[in-house]
Structure 1
Amino acid sequence: MTDRPAADTPPQEPAEPRSAPIGVSARTRRALGLPEPEQRSAARSAAHRMLERVGGPVGLAATAAPATAFVVADAAAGLGTAFVALGVTAGLACVVRLARRESPGAALAGLLVAGICAAVAAVAGEARAFFLPTTVLPVVFVLAHTVSLAAGRPLMGLVVNRLAGGPRNWWQHRPLRRLYLLSSVIGLAMAVANLLGRVGFYLADQPAALAAIQVLSTSAFAAHFAVTLVVARRVTSTTRTPVPFPSPTAVQH
């Protein structure tokens, strides 16, 4: 009994890899003949993430709109019109925050702050008094940073470390401690500059400059927080074992 020769089977073509599903935006670009978007660099991606953490362009605009509208309306038509513009823009800003699914507490807090500032301006009868309540914030930051640095627990470590997933004893990790110390010193300098600028322009009766300081300082502090958080997460991911600082009570033999 002879073995039957195996039938020659033609070599199979290698299966073509399945392409990833094409989204609507990609199909639209191809239909219109538009170029494909360039791949984001690591720096641009990090910058985009930080911008999103501070609310993005829409969030920053919603934060700046009430004070800006108040100052512009006051300069154009007086304090009464400024209150109306403030109420409209503060209400719209609250709606925008809720539509963006931000915290309802934060959205309502924006309305509350606008109402308090408007009440102070109404009692004082001048536009610059609108910015008196928010001047308390840089004072609080200056005191908090100063006390925390003196106690050896930089404020940015107390605020950021838990969000960054860092260890509880972060002050015993040299990289984290140095990061939070540097970030807190920068935050203290920013708070002092913010306070001095507010006091100077308040005494000079410059509501427009006060509005600019308020908008810029809010964005600057948010960006400072976001940068510290991003760097802290990277440092935490590379930190494996603590490198404790020598105890002041340790006795060397």
Structure 2
Amino acid sequence: MTDPREPDPEPSASEMLGQALGGAARRAGLDPSEGASTGHVVWKAMGGWRGVLESVLPGLVFIVVYTVTIDPATGDGALWLALGLSVGIAAVFTILRLIARQPASAAIGGLIAVAVAALFALLTGEASNNFVPGFITNAVYGTAFLVSALVGWSLIGLAGGFLMGEGTAWRQDRRKRRVYFWLAIAWAGLFAARLAVQLPFYFADDVTALGTLKLVMGLPLFAPMVAVTWLAARALYPRRDT
């Protein structure tokens, strides 16, 4: 019998990671206790209309402004103007959230990402380098999902186990292990596909095509992946009576 005076055992690294991932997923709207529809869950994970605009508009403005200002003689667009408007729009979204006292972590993260990307482009004078931080992010995320699947500690499983209140017990269930393995592989494949499709245009210095592909392979691919992940993970657990 456990002595009540003894301190609780320290959580393992996997449990701490699962709690962090699950907490992030819950804050993003992936909370199974709410019993929401898949469409509602995906829309909330995207941040609704404001989240979509915050994610898409800075990049869209950059590529449109840069493209329409391309000088036929040099083949270059107005880099400073395109980057300035892109960062400015991201800053406006962040300020609006702060004024309204709404959660601004996503907007601040987006602002930092846009600012870092702009810095890459300005320091090198190459518009295509505006996309380098995105390549790094996709490579890191893709590698993390792939490695987690191959070593048997799927990041999707860690998050799902925390959300469903079973911690890491899912690893003792062959079916859950298999599903979480393939979900992690699918996410790794998404990030790898972005790199495989976009990098050739980066090396070709085709900024317009690169920017367009980044938008097309962003939320339009993210949303269905969230839906598939949500449905597959929920199917592993019996419905709870409410």
TM-score, normalization by structure 2: 0.70
Structure 1 counterpart SS, 2:218: helix
Structure 1 counterpart SS, 2:201: helix
For 1:209 and 1:116, locate their aligned partners in 2 and report how far apart those are by CA, in whole Å: 21
The number of equivalent residue pairs is 196
Could you list the runs of 5+ residues in structure 1 that have no partner in the other structure?
A: 1-43, 240-253
Equivalent positions of 1:44-63 (< 5 A) are: 45-63=37-55
Taking structure 1 as reference, are residues 105 and 58 closer, same or farther at Cα in structure 2, changes over 3 Å only? closer
Decide which moves more: 123-132 or 227-236: 227-236
For 2:63 and 2:106, locate their aligned partners in 1 and report how far apart those are by CA, in whole Å: 23
The AA in structure 1 aligned to 2:206 is: Q
Contact 1:145–1:188 under 8 Å retained in 2? yes
TM-superposed deviation, 1:122:
0.5
C-alpha RMSD over aligned residues: 2.6
**Cα deviation digits, residues 209-229 of structure 1 (max 9, x gap):** 322333333322354235423
Equivalent positions of 1:239-250 (< 5 A) are: none
Alignment partner, residue 142 of structure 2: 142
Alignment partner, residue 161 of structure 2: 161
**Cα deviation digits, residues 24-81 of structure 1 (max 9, x gap):** xxxxxxxxxxxxxxxxxxxx94223322222223311220111111111112231121
Q: Is 2:60 the counterpart of 1:68?
A: yes
Structure 2 counterpart SS, 1:62: helix
TM-score, normalization by structure 1: 0.67
Alignment partner, residue 225 of structure 2: 224
TM-superposed deviation, 1:206:
2.0
Percent of aligned positions that are identical:
29
**Cα deviation digits, residues 85-119 of structure 1 (max 9, x gap):** 11321123324555786532322121111111111
Highest RCO, 1 vs 2 (Cα 8 Å, sep ≥ 6): 2
The AA in structure 2 aligned to 1:156 is: I
Equivalent positions of 1:181-220 (< 5 A) are: 181-219=181-219, 220=221
**Cα deviation digits, residues 184-219 of structure 1 (max 9, x gap):** 121122121111122111012122332233333332
Could you list the runs of 5+ residues in structure 2 that have no partner in the other structure?
A: 1-35, 70-77
Taking structure 1 as reference, are residues 161 and 210 closer, same or farther at Cα in structure 2, changes over 3 Å only? farther
Alignment partner, residue 132 of structure 1: 132
Alignment partner, residue 80 of structure 1: 80
Contact 1:64–1:215 under 8 Å retained in 2? yes
Taking structure 1 as reference, are residues 112 and 207 closer, same or farther at Cα in structure 2, changes over 3 Å only? same
